[in-house]
């Protein structure tokens, strides 16, 4: 029998607000354990939550970036369960009245036709503490770090619209790009500021039934999302074919074993309205203000880059996939660099060099105005492309301005034909066989001669001038 998968995603995004959701503690989970805590996020007796305005605004931007509709009235509920990572026995979350409903992302299906993947709702909630289980000698000990407790999260719950691992991966990529554009989170699966859980069930293709689903967690890269879903679909199809019953539960993805392993029965605790956090009323004016504050989204930016700079759709989309990259590109162009060299140097030189050094573009030691300076020198023929690559490498290590490096290293390109004449004559005299090959129309030999002159010039000669001069002299001699 032919099966199809029914997949829905639950995506947690940690907002990059300066403080936690209900108190003024710094939102820095990675600090020394339990440094960023107060009576409220430890939920000491008598504590009262105070909803962060900044978190509400960032959450609203996430909703708008995903085309979800902000609800005029939303409220927090207590999601009750008992676990040491939850300092008050319930998590404040929006179960009954979420911040936004609807929305979604339209992707291009493998067939090439557009495919809408819908969002059911988006709600705010607080993160829980981090548990560390260690050994103290031979005694097992459990430690709780409350730095993360109360960190602001939004959870995006999709409709079960996904049918393949690819759709899930593409959706997560597009969602990540949009949220980064909104400036609300860095959305890193690796560090856990983006967490993707998938609910998966299988059914005979063409059937409309919804079978028992299994939740999978612990995928910390986009590739793991795809691998884990693909594996879980296979596992369930095999189970159904052997007559096994699928039960509702949660499984963890083990990237080493490339398999999901059972974790626990899926949690479904009660949610009761919370009387301590007032309901959130979003006026039409406030919603309009947030819409006005939403930065340009990736599709709009790609369209703009294509028209403004004459790029193809693929090129402009590649540049727009990350707001940092698009911003860097626009800074280069703003620094009088032609669009195509700007794109080329950014995508093929700067980004690989950063990746090699495990750096993000935002932390690049080469600022856009410095790279623009280098590329302007290249465009004016003051240096050649080889020298420019050398200078870029040196800019990484020294942080110096390109002009300084070019002057210090003597990378200035020699374009004066008179200054090159002696070197060219020398090369012609020393390589009569190659000259003969050129006359016989062998292009390779020309390259060889250019290389000889370049070497003799210490790499500074302008290759275009060398070629022109070589051609002139060989033609004149013949």
Q: Which residues in this chain contact another protein in the complex, by CB under 8 A?
A: 39, 42-46, 48-51, 78, 80, 82, 84, 87-90, 140, 142, 144, 269-270, 272-273, 275-278
Smallest distance from another protein to CB 200, Å: 27
Residues 424 and 452: their CA atoms lie apart, in Å, by: 9
Which is nearer to another protein, 4 or 85 (by Cβ)? Answer: 85
Least distance (Å) from another protein to the CB of residue 98? 18
Helix, strand or coil for residue 387? helix
If the CB atoms of residues 72 and 89 are measured against another protein, the closer one turns out to be 89
Closest to 171 (Cα-Cα) out of 319, 66, 40: 66
For residue 39, the minimal CB distance to another protein (Å) is 6
User: Residue 2's CB: how many other CB atoms inside 10 A?
Assistant: 7
**Closer Cβ to another protein, 207 or 276, answer by number:** 276
Cα 472 to chain centroid distance, Å, stands at 52
| Bridge-based pairing state of the strands 194-204 and 3-14 | antiparallel
Give the residue with the Cβ less far from another protein, 34 or 221.
Answer: 34
Closest separation in Å from C-beta 299 to another protein: 38
By beta-carbon proximity to another protein, the closer residue of 80 and 109 is: 80
Residue 1 vs 73, nearer CB to another protein:
73
Angle, helices 463-477/432-439, rounded to nearest 10 degrees: 80
Q: How many CA atoms lie within 13 A of 93 on its CB side?
A: 22
| Strand pairing class (139-145; 130-136) | antiparallel
Q: How far apart are CA 161 and CA 47, in angstroms?
A: 41
Q: Which one, 137 or 441, has the nearer CB to another protein?
A: 137
CB under 8 A, 24+ apart: contacts of 162-166: 162/5, 162/6, 162/7, 162/8, 162/9, 162/117, 163/4, 163/5, 163/6, 163/7, 164/5, 164/7, 165/225, 165/226, 165/227, 165/229, 165/230, 165/233, 166/110, 166/226
- Residue 409 is inside which H or E element, if any? helix 402-409
Q: How far is the CB of 181 from another protein (least distance, A)?
A: 31
């Amino acid at each position: 029998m032919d099966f199809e998968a029914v997949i829905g995603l639950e995506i947690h995004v940690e907002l990059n607000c300066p403080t936690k959701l209900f108190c003024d503690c710094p939102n820095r989970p990675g600090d020394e354990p339990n440094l960023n805590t107060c009576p409220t996020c430890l939920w000491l007796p008598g504590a009262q939550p105070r909803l962060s305005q900044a978190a509400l605004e960032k959450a609203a931007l996430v909703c708008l970036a995903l085309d979800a509709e902000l609800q005029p009235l939303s409220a927090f509920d207590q999601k009750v369960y008992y676990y040491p990572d939850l300092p008050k026995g319930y998590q404040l979350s929006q179960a009954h009245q979420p911040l936004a409903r609807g929305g979604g992302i339209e992707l291009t299906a493998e067939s090439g036709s557009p495919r809408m993947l819908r969002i059911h709702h988006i709600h705010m909630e607080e993160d829980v503490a981090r548990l560390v289980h260690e050994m103290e000698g031979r005694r097992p000990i459990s430690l709780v770090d409350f730095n993360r407790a109360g960190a602001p999260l939004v959870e995006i719950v999709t409709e079960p619209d996904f049918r393949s691992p690819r759709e899930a991966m593409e959706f997560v990529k597009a969602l990540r790009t949009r949220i980064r554009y909104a400036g609300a989170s860095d959305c890193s699966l690796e560090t856990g500021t983006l967490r993707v859980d998938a609910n998966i069930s299988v059914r005979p293709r063409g059937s409309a039934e919804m079978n028992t689903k299994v939740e999978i967690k612990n995928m910390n890269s986009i590739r793991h999302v795809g691998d884990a879903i693909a594996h879980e679909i296979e596992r369930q199809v095999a189970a159904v074919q052997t007559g096994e019953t699928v039960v509702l539960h949660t499984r963890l993805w083990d990237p080493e074993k490339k398999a999901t392993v059972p974790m626990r029965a899926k949690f479904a605790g009660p949610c009761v309205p919370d009387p301590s956090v007032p309901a959130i009323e979003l006026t039409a004016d406030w919603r309009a203000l947030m819409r006005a504050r939403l930065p340009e989204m990736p599709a709009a930016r790609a369209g703009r880059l294509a028209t403004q700079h004459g790029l193809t759709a693929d090129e402009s989309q590649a540049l727009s996939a990350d707001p940092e990259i698009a911003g860097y590109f626009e800074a280069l162009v703003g620094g009088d660099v032609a669009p195509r060299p700007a794109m080329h140097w950014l995508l093929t030189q700067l980004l690989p060099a950063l990746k090699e050094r495990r750096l993000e573009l935002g932390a690049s030691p080469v600022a856009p105005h410095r790279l623009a300076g280098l590329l302007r020198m290249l465009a004016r023929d003051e240096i050649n492309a080889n020298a420019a690559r050398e200078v870029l490498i040196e800019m990484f290590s020294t942080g110096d301005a390109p002009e300084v490096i070019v002057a210090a290293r003597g990378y200035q390109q020699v374009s004066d034909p008179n200054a090159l004449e002696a070197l060219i004559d020398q090369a012609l005299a020393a390589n009569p066989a190659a000259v003969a090959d050129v006359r016989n129309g062998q292009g390779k030999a020309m390259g060889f001669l250019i290389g000889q002159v370049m070497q003799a010039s210490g790499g500074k000669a302008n290759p275009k001038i060398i070629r022109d001069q070589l051609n002139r002299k060989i033609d004149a001699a013949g």
